[in-house]
Amino acid sequence: MSTKVVGFFCYAHRDFDNSSGELSWVFEQIQRELRLQSGEDVEVFHDRKNIRWGDLWRSAIDLTLVSSYFLVPILSPSFFTSNECRREFFEFLKSDQVDLSYSRIFPIKFIHDRKRMTDDSEDELVREALRRQYIDWTAYRFCEEKRKVEKINEMVLRLADIMELHKNNILAETKKPIIDQSPKSSEYEAQSESIYNELSSNVLKMPINDKSLEVYQKLLIPNMPTSPNLNHRLLVDIDRLGYEYISDIHRVVRMQEKNVIEYYKENPNLFGFSTDFLTKSLIFEDKEFRARHPASAQTLNVAQQIGRI
């Protein structure tokens, strides 16, 4: 059974290195209890454990961050002064619920920061963290292990609930329409355009990067009644090749976007779906155009295999 990363610990390395094993123990205890509560082989990411030597650390962190169900920031003076901690927090905050009762950010106040952690703080990170229900670990750092375990179990109950809610929301969003998926079906064309119009206003306006591709995968792609081969083969390539492939798509789209749109205006009959979707997925049909403007080899192979070119 494969292990699924469901959460993300956001912390300052200085705290991890100087806590005499305390943070490492907290991380392991949360993960063990979450497995018991959920009945699943899940994992909460932290970079000291999950990034191997030689990995593209920023890429690995960003890809995990955007796909996590929840974020656990470890608040401390070092956390608030860490550029990387701040970047991770605000990146995850973009996708968090406005309704704080369903927030996916669960702070742990590990060390009290008397200078910054005030009710009238001008630091947006401090304000956002303290708006949420947080665990005050300062009272538990030097107490007996039993009390620590009880406090962590209380937190994990909330994590398990929000994880299940988030999973159910994604499953509800990604149910595929059951229609005729043959490429020339009129019902297929109509349904494709209808679903595209419904989803494109927010999803397809995002720049192509690791975050937007994650959104495509979870929200847009499963709902688009395009060829199953296109849906799944392209996403398999993205998952397998990781950030290098994402960077390649981003680079090629930037180079080709203007050309593709101009070409579409002159030859709309060569495009089966909307301009933006085709531009962003780099799937268009004219062989001569592709010869003049080569796209990603992986994407070209997928298009050829499903008979689009």
pLDDT string in tens for the chain (309-residue length):
456 778 899 999 999 999 999 999 999 999 999 999 888 888 888 876 544 433 344 555 666 777 788 899 999 999 999 999 999 999 888 877 655 666 889 999 999 998 889 878 899 999 999 888 889 999 898 899 999 999 999 899 888 887 777 665 543 444 333 333 444 445 544 544 454 455 444 444 555 444 554 554 454 444 433 333 333 333 333 333 333 433 444 444 444 445 545 555 665 554 443 333 333 333 333 444 444 444 444 344 433 433 333
> Measuring CA to CA, how many Å separate 83 from each of 11, 78, 117, 125, 264?
11, 10, 17, 12, 43
Rama region for 39: left / alpha / beta (φ>0; ψ in -120 to 50; rest): left
Domains and CATH numbers, the chain: 4-170 (3.40.50.10140), 178-305 (no CATH)
What's the confidence (pLDDT) of residue 211?
53
CA 95 to chain centre: 9
Residue of 229, 213, 187, 276 whose CA lies nearest to 66? 213
How many whole angstroms separate alpha carbon 275 and alpha carbon 257?
A: 10
What's the confidence (pLDDT) of residue 220?
44
Query: Does the predicted model carry a pTM greater than 0.75?
Result: no
How many whole angstroms separate alpha carbon 72 and alpha carbon 45?
A: 10
Kindly report the CA angle at 2 between 41 and 12, in degrees rounded to 5?
Answer: 65
Element (H, E) at 237: helix 228-241
Number of H helices, E strands in the chain: 16, 5
How many whole angstroms separate alpha carbon 224 and alpha carbon 234?
A: 13
Q: Are 122 and 94 in contact (CB under 8 A)?
A: no
